Structure 1
Amino acid sequence: MKIGVCGTGRMGSSIAQRLMAVGHEVNVWNRDAAKTKPLTGAGAKLFASPAELLDGCDAVVVMLLNDAATEAVYRGPNGILKGKLAGKLLIDMSTVRPDTMSSIGTAAAVQGAAFVECPVGGSTAPAKEGKLFGLAGGAKADVARAMPILEQLCRRIEHVGELGSGATMKLAINLPLLVYWQALGEALTICGPLNLPADRLIDILSDTAGTPTAMKGRGADIARVLGGQPLGETAFAVSAAKKDLATAIAFGQSIHTELPVTASALACFEAAEAAGLGDADATAVPVHWTRRNKNRGTI
Structure 2
Amino acid sequence: MKIGVCGTGKMGSAIALRLIEVDHEVAVWNRNPDRTKPLIDAGAKQFGTPAELAGACEIVISMLLNDAASDAVYNGPDGLLTAELNGKLLIDTSTVLPETNVKLGSAVVAAGAGFVECPVGGTVGPARQGKLLGFAGGTAADVARAKPVLEQLCRRVEHVGAVGAGATMKLAVNLPLLVYWQALGESLAICKSLNLPPEKVIDILSDTSGTPVAMKGRGPDIAKLLAGETIGAPAFAISAAKKDLATAVRFAETQHTTLPVAASALACFEKAEAAGLGDADAVAVPVFWANSSATSRP
With the shorter chain as reference, the TM-score category is over 0.9
Residue number in structure 1 paired with 2:126: 126
1:201-235 Cα offsets, whole Å, 9 max, x none, are 10000011100000111011100111110243111
Residue number in structure 1 paired with 2:107: 107
Query: What is the identity, as a one-letter code, of the residue corresponding to 2:279?
Result: D
Map of 1:279-298 to 2, 5 A cutoff?
A: 279-297=279-297
Aligned-partner Cα distance in 2 for 1:267–1:57: 42
Map of 1:20-31 to 2, 5 A cutoff?
A: 20-31=20-31
Residue number in structure 2 paired with 1:236: 236
Say whether the 8 Å CA contact 1:136–1:143 is kept in structure 2. Answer: yes
Aligned-partner Cα distance in 2 for 1:211–1:95: 25
Aligned-partner Cα distance in 2 for 1:272–1:239: 9
Query: What is the identity, as a one-letter code, of the residue corresponding to 1:284?
Result: A
Map of 1:46-125 to 2, 5 A cutoff?
A: 46-125=46-125
Between 177-186 and 37-46, report the one with greater CA deviation. 37-46
Residue number in structure 2 paired with 1:40: 40
Query: What is the identity, as a one-letter code, of the residue corresponding to 1:70?
Result: S
Query: What is the identity, as a one-letter code, of the residue corresponding to 1:24?
Result: H
Aligned-partner Cα distance in 1 for 2:128–2:228: 29
Aligned-partner Cα distance in 2 for 1:270–1:232: 22
Residue number in structure 2 paired with 1:147: 147
1:121-160 Cα offsets, whole Å, 9 max, x none, are 0000000000000000000000000010000000001100
Residue number in structure 2 paired with 1:224: 224
Q: Using structure 2 for the length normalisation, give the TM-score.
A: 0.99
Aligned-partner Cα distance in 1 for 2:11–2:259: 27
Aligned-partner Cα distance in 2 for 1:261–1:48: 43
Gaps of 5+ in 2: none
1:185-213 Cα offsets, whole Å, 9 max, x none, are 00000111111111001000001110000
Aligned-partner Cα distance in 2 for 1:3–1:216: 35
Could you say what secondary structure the match of 2:279 adopts?
coil
Aligned residues: 298
Query: What is the identity, as a one-letter code, of the residue corresponding to 1:75?
Result: N
Query: What is the identity, as a one-letter code, of the residue corresponding to 2:127?
Result: A
Say whether the 8 Å CA contact 1:67–1:96 is kept in structure 2. Answer: yes
Query: What is the identity, as a one-letter code, of the residue corresponding to 2:98?
Result: P
Percent of paired sites with the same residue: 66
Residue number in structure 1 paired with 2:2: 2
Residue 160 (1) aligns with residue 160 (2): yes
CA RMSD of aligned residues (A): 0.8
Residue number in structure 2 paired with 1:201: 201
Q: CA deviation at 1:43?
A: 1.2
Query: What is the identity, as a one-letter code, of the residue corresponding to 1:191?
Result: C
Aligned-partner Cα distance in 2 for 1:232–1:216: 17
Could you say what secondary structure the match of 1:61 adopts?
strand
Return structure 1 stretches of 4+ with deviation > 6 angstroms.
none
Aligned-partner Cα distance in 2 for 1:77–1:255: 33
1:85-133 Cα offsets, whole Å, 9 max, x none, are 1000111000000000011011101111110000000000000000000
Aligned-partner Cα distance in 2 for 1:232–1:283: 12
Could you say what secondary structure the match of 1:134 adopts?
strand
Q: Using structure 1 for the length normalisation, give the TM-score.
A: 0.98
Q: CA deviation at 1:289?
A: 0.5
Could you say what secondary structure the match of 2:128 adopts?
helix
Query: What is the identity, as a one-letter code, of the residue corresponding to 1:46?
Result: Q
Aligned-partner Cα distance in 2 for 1:189–1:287: 9
1:37-67 Cα offsets, whole Å, 9 max, x none, are 1101111111000011000111111000000
Residue number in structure 1 paired with 2:263: 263
Residue number in structure 2 paired with 1:15: 15
Aligned-partner Cα distance in 2 for 1:294–1:261: 22
Say whether the 8 Å CA contact 1:231–1:284 is kept in structure 2. Answer: no
Could you say what secondary structure the match of 1:191 adopts?
helix
Residue number in structure 1 paired with 2:175: 175
Aligned-partner Cα distance in 2 for 1:208–1:95: 30
Aligned-partner Cα distance in 1 for 2:261–2:32: 35
